[in-house]
Structure 1
């Protein structure tokens, strides 16, 4: 699973691509890592329209402060049956889309950016939560049976994006088992 991704697009381009409302760009673009602010797309509770919101990537792990006072972030959801995640997954209003232009992976101490044969911006499935001091999100990862990697982000095409944001959990969870619509951005 990637521990970083890249987003090189201003909010206006992201909004057009995902039919979302946007405000000013609160992020600088480029490489994004856990613990940093990034834009995500959620559905407005009042209007049901898609809206771009800045959130921190990663959930603070329980009892996660290091001796130096740093937070350890949980950036991905792998075990969807875990009680830690199941509440968020079952509530449609807590699902989101995470826009990206590339995934970044590390191999034996070297970092490389993965090429993708897809539209300039793609969406990964995610979940989010408003904590007392900030909203946070995590990316859904799925087992990649065709490759030796343990997991890869769940990348959604247009109809799958709407399904992820609106379907009840029984239906939305089927997206985790379907063949991927696009080539793996880490291939």
Structure 2
């Protein structure tokens, strides 16, 4: 969060610059109950991500946790269909080089200095 505004800055991650598809280990369920007293009871779709300790790339951005990342078909199938006794082993921190930041808040992007370019047209002076 920005210490002055309290606004959360968004970062975007990928496995590498080619940005191949990957998945988060998540849970989803329907639930009936009251989420807002003024709205009364209702049916809601709730979801969440399985998290783990952050790696070295994520820790400076979010020190408490990072989502469990599934990168192979086998991991995805295990998460979707295996008993918890097997699926729980997917809850591990991604290696420090498993992700790259592909976009971050503009206020923190440091562009490299650029050499001045020669004018396209000559000068009269």
Structure 1 length as normaliser, TM-score? 0.36
Residues 107 and 172 from structure 1, CA distance in 2 versus in 1: closer, same or farther, beyond 3 angstroms? farther
| Unaligned 5+ runs, structure 2 | 33-42, 105-125
- Runs ≥4 residues deviating over 3 A: 106-110, 145-148, 178-182, 184-187
Q: RMSD across aligned C-alpha pairs, in angstroms?
A: 2.9
Task: Tell me the equivalent position of 1:113.
Answer: 11
**How far apart, in 1, do the equivalents of 2:64 and 2:86 lie?**
24
Task: Tell me the equivalent position of 1:183.
Answer: 99
By percentage of residues, which structure has more strand? 1
Are the counterparts in 2 of residues 126 and 140 from structure 1 also a CA contact under 8 Å? yes
Paired residues in the alignment total: 81
Structure 2 residue 46 is matched with structure 1 residue 130: no
Residues 150 and 128 from structure 1, CA distance in 2 versus in 1: closer, same or farther, beyond 3 angstroms? same
| Unaligned 5+ runs, structure 1 | 1-105
Shift of 1:124: 0.7
Partner of 1:137, secondary structure, is: strand
Partner of 2:10, secondary structure, is: strand
Work out which structure has the larger RCO, using CA pairs closer than 8 Å and 6 or more positions apart in sequence: 2
Structure 2 length as normaliser, TM-score? 0.51
Task: Tell me the equivalent position of 1:45.
Answer: none
Task: Tell me the equivalent position of 2:82.
Answer: 167
**How far apart, in 1, do the equivalents of 2:68 and 2:94 lie?**
10
Are the counterparts in 1 of residues 25 and 69 from structure 2 also a CA contact under 8 Å? yes
Shift of 1:183: 1.5
Are the counterparts in 2 of residues 155 and 182 from structure 1 also a CA contact under 8 Å? no
Task: Tell me the equivalent position of 2:110.
Answer: none
**How far apart, in 1, do the equivalents of 2:77 and 2:54 lie?**
23
Q: Which has the larger radius of gyration?
A: 2
Shift of 1:140: 1.2
Shift of 1:145: 5.2
Shift of 1:115: 3.5
**How far apart, in 1, do the equivalents of 2:93 and 2:87 lie?**
11
